Structure 1
Amino acid sequence: MVVGLLHRAGARSAHLHLASFGAIGLCVTLWVRAKSIDQEQRGNAERRALFVGLWPPMLWLIGESLREPQ
């Protein structure tokens, strides 16, 4: 259902695969940035980086499901 909606909206597997790589870059950027802020805010920043780190597998798998014929 969701995959069909994404396909009709124009999303293709390459778009989701690129978004997955972008999320990896965002996660690394947030993690490096977390190391440069004060100790009081570091825990929240690291949790944010870990949360974003959960996105790449989801985006990649959605991209793979768009690759398969409907």
Structure 2
Amino acid sequence: MVVRLLHRTGLRSNHFHLASLGTIALCVGLWVRAKTVDQQQRGNAERRALFVGLWPPMMWSIGESLRDVE
């Protein structure tokens, strides 16, 4: 139901597959940035990078579901 709604709004599987790759790059960028902050803020920055690291499989799965609808 949600996947069909996404398809009707014009989103396609390629959009979500590219978003998945983009979130991998964002995660790596946040992780590298976490190494440059001071020790007090490093834990928060690393947790942020780990949180963003959970997004790529979700985006890829949504893209695969949309590909089935297409």
TM-score scaled by length of structure 2: 0.97
Residue 15 (str. 1) matches residue 15 (str. 2): yes
Counterpart Cα distance in 1 of 2:5 and 2:69 = 14
- What is the total number of aligned residue pairs between the two structures? 70
Instruction: Quote the sequence identity (%).
Output: 76
State the Cα distance separating 1:69 from its structure 2 match. Answer: 3.1
Poorly superposed stretches of 4+, deviation over 6 Å: none
- 2:41 aligns to what SS in structure 1? helix
Name structure 1 gaps, 5 residues minimum: none
Once the two structures are superposed, residues 3-61 of structure 1 have per-residue CA deviations (whole angstroms, 9 ceiling, x without a partner) of 01100000000000000000000000000000000000000000000000000000000
Residue 46 (str. 1) matches residue 46 (str. 2): yes
Counterpart Cα distance in 2 of 1:4 and 1:52 = 26
Specify the alignment match of 1:27 in structure 2: 27
Answer whether contact 2:3 2:62 (CA < 8 A) is retained.
yes
Counterpart Cα distance in 2 of 1:25 and 1:43 = 20
Superposed CA RMSD:
0.9
Specify the alignment match of 1:6 in structure 2: 6
- 2:69 aligns to what SS in structure 1? coil
Name structure 2 gaps, 5 residues minimum: none
- 1:68 aligns to what SS in structure 2? helix
Answer whether contact 2:17 2:59 (CA < 8 A) is retained.
yes
Counterpart Cα distance in 2 of 1:52 and 1:2 = 22
Counterpart Cα distance in 1 of 2:69 and 2:2 = 14
